[in-house]
Amino acid sequence: MSYPMKLMPATFALVWGGTRLAGKWNKRSDADNIAESWELSCHEKGESVVLNGELSNIKLSRVIAENPDFLGSRGKAFDFFPILIKLIDSKDNLSVQVHPSDEYALANEGEYGKTEMWYVVDCEEGSGVYCGFKEPVSKEELKASLLDGSVTDKLNFLQVKKGDTLFIEAGTVHAICGGMLICEVQQNSSITYRLYDYGRKDKDGKERELHVNKALAVTDTEKVVLPNENRKALDECASIIAQCKYFTVEEIDCKEEYAFDVDDGSFVSLTVVDGSGAVMSGGSCISLDTGDTVFIPAGSGKTDIYGNLKAIKAYC
């Protein structure tokens, strides 16, 4: 039963979401404004489902539970499925937020924390993200800026372009701004502490909950983030764009054919962010189109990508 599995994501319509995922990217939803598509997910709040082969229509979490060797030795070292991969379409700014470390989250939420990375799939001219602060601030100054609405004046705004990457460690205050399409690879956690939400209201006329005290407790007020600071070329087609104890992420730029080995250490996930082609692994071949995500079990061996495409490759 080991073969490359194309996944159907869970989708979420949120107040700041755009229309690209339900349109060009063909994500299934009852809503037009899909904000997030959870491409590779074993999280209880939104799970991926296998679309092809013998395991078709089965949740990925069940597939893993019944076939733990699919995780690989490094994957099995975690006491939870380690990675969550999302596509995020922001018509408007996301809230100013921060995620806790494992230590804080386990002590206060009973769940692991959240370190993540962003890959800019597409963006409108002049769009960008808030990451960290322009200069160090005290917790008192930060709290005062939240109360008077001036917090974005203290944040570091980074104008980005297609293909840029950012590594967001737990404790980093951040916000994806409007006009962005992001591929996010993160720890498998949903804990978010909102510091500021621009005073906007949801469809019921209510402001969304803020978590100021918890956010202040975990915020690194000296954190600075720079685009592409972790990029490292592996060969003419692949570059590492993020690496930490939870995940390694590569950008694959395949012009005709690209091969890599999926060993017993970890599964591999491929999310196609541009172009089309096919992937062959474990004796099976499936087509790939923009927006597809494929789970390749650990130990699948030589894996070949064909076509003209760009993909985000993630593993633990």
Which residues are the active-site residues?
A: 194
Tokens describing residue 99: 């995620």
Do β-strands 116-123 and 284-288 pair in parallel, antiparallel, or remain unpaired? Answer: unpaired
- State how far the Cα of 262 lies from the Cα of 197, in Å rounded to an integer: 42
- Give the three-state DSSP class for 103: helix
Tokens of 112: 């692991």
Contact 9, 39 (CB under 8 A): yes
In whole angstroms, how large is the CA radius of gyration of the chain? 19
CA quadruple 216, 220, 224, 228: dihedral, nearest 10: -100
The H or E element containing residue 244 is: none
Q: Are 83 and 246 in contact (CB under 8 A)?
A: yes
Give the CA-trace dihedral at 178, 179, 181, 182, to 10 degrees: -40
| CA dihedral of 182, 186, 190, 194, whole degrees rounded to 10 | -60
List of residues 6+ apart from 5 with CB closer than 8 A? 50, 51, 52, 53, 55, 60, 63, 294, 295, 296, 297
User: 2 with 299: CB under 8 angstroms?
Assistant: yes
Distance of CA 100 to the CA centre of its chain: 16
Beta-strand relationship, 128-133 and 174-176:
antiparallel
